[in-house]
Amino acid sequence: MSMQHVLVTGGAGYIGAHACKALRNAGFVPVVYDNFSTGWKQAVKFGPVEEGDLLDRATLDHAFAKWRPVAVMHFAALSLVGESMKDPSKYWRTNVMAGLNLIEAAIAAGCLNFVFSSTCATYGDQDGVVLDEATPQFPINAYGGSKRAIEDMLRDFRASHGLQSVIFRYFNVAGADPEAEVGEQHVPETHLIPLMLDAIAGKRPALTVFGSDYPTPDGTCVRDYVHVSDLVDAHVLGLKWLLDGKGSEVFCLGSGNGFSVREVIAQSRAVTNRDVPIIEGARRPGDAAKLVSGSVKAVETLGWQPKRSDLRQMIGDAWRWHQTGSYDY
C-alpha cells in the first residue's frame, strides 16, 4: 500500500513542524503547504513542501491534485491576541478567508477529512467556568473570533458536503521537540516562555509581566500549558479517528493545570538556575484572566496520553531548543 499523504498547512510553523514530525513517525507523509510569511524553511524536515498561499486557489488545487492527501491538517493562521486587537481586519481576512478557500479546495478535491487547530481563545473571559467542549464560545478578541468562524464553517460544510472534522481547541502550547529538531521561534517573538528564555539568556533586557491586577491568586493571568509534542500526538489520533470513519468531534487540548505568569517565571528560574529580570507592566488588551481546560474528553475518547506536559518538562525542553536548536536567519 502506498503511503498516505496529509496536507499540513502552516507546516513550517511552530506547531505544524512538530505535527509533521509526529505524522512522519506514525507512517504518514506530511506535505507542508506554507507561504513562509512566518514559517521557517529550516523547519521543513519530514516530507515534501509546496510553497503557496492559502488565498491562492490555483496553487492550492495543484497541491491537492499532485499529492492526493487523505486529510488536511490546518495550522496556518495568524495567532497573536494583541495584534488581533490592533488590526482585526488582518485576522478576519487572513484567517477566515484563507480557511474558507482551503475548505472549498479540499471539498473540490474530494478530501473530506479535516483536522483544525482552534483555540481556547474562542471561549473569551468566563470567570469561574470550567472550560470544556460544551462551554459556549464568546471570544473577546479577533483572533478567537476568526477561529470560531472557521469552526462554524466546518459544521456548515459537514451538513452540506459531508466534510468530517476534528477540531482541537488548544490551551497554551509550549515546549519543543525533546530531540530539538524543531522548536518555537517567532519573529517578532510575543509568547511568554520564549521571551522569558531570551531574557534569561541575556538576549533581551527583561520580561514584562502584562498585568498584576487580575482577579487571580497572585494577580497575574493564569494559563493551562500543554507540551507541543503531546499536542501533536493528539492530532495523529484525531487523524486516525477520521480515517476510521468515526466522524466529526471537538476536543480541548490542555493539561488541566493552571499556572500564573509568576509561577511560570519561578519555574523558569528553577529549571535554568538563572535569574529573570522582570518589569511589571500594564495589561495586554484581549487577555482573559484565566484559561484552564476542564476537559478529559481527549483522554477518554481519543485515548490521548499526555507525557511531557508538566511545567518543568516543558520549560526544560524549550530551554534546550533555545540553547542548541534555534533556526538561523
Residues within the interface to ligand UDP (CB under 6 A): 81, 172, 190-192, 195, 207-210, 221, 223, 261, 284, 287
Positive or negative CA dihedral for 142, 60, 12, 244?
Answer: positive
Cell of 304: 490521548
Give the angle 218-221-224 at the CA atoms, nearest 5°. Answer: 110
Indicate the residue among 69 and 286 with the shorter CB distance to ligand UDP: 286
Q: How far apart are CA 84 and CA 80, in angstroms?
A: 6
Q: How far is the CB of 31 from ligand UDP (least distance, A)?
A: 27
Return the number of other C-beta atoms located less than 10 Å from residue 196's C-beta.
26
First-to-last C-alpha distance (Å) of the chain: 40
Q: How far is the CB of 289 from ligand UDP (least distance, A)?
A: 9
Q: How far is the CB of 8 from ligand UDP (least distance, A)?
A: 21
Indicate the residue among 71 and 222 with the shorter CB distance to ligand UDP: 222
Indicate the residue among 42 and 208 with the shorter CB distance to ligand UDP: 208
Q: How far is the CB of 229 from ligand UDP (least distance, A)?
A: 18
Say which residues have a Cβ less than 8 Å from residue 196's Cβ, sequence separation at least 6. 207, 264, 265, 268, 276
Q: How far apart are CA 47 and CA 5, in angstroms?
A: 9
Indicate the residue among 56 and 218 with the shorter CB distance to ligand UDP: 218
Indicate the residue among 70 and 207 with the shorter CB distance to ligand UDP: 207
For the chain, give the number of residues: 329
Give the residue numbers annotated as catalytic, written as ranges: 143
Q: How far is the CB of 292 from ligand UDP (least distance, A)?
A: 12
Q: How far is the CB of 281 from ligand UDP (least distance, A)?
A: 7
Residue nearest to ligand UDP (CB): 221
Indicate the residue among 233 and 287 with the shorter CB distance to ligand UDP: 287
Question: Beta strands 222-223 and 259-260: pairing type?
Answer: antiparallel
**Phi, psi dihedral angles at 315 (to 5 degrees):** -70, -35
Q: How far is the CB of 209 from ligand UDP (least distance, A)?
A: 5
Asked whether 264 and 193 are in contact (CB, 8 A), the reply is yes
Indicate the residue among 59 and 216 with the shorter CB distance to ligand UDP: 216
Say which residues have a Cβ less than 8 Å from residue 248's Cβ, sequence separation at least 6. 154, 155, 158, 164, 165, 166, 167
Bridge partner list, 61: none
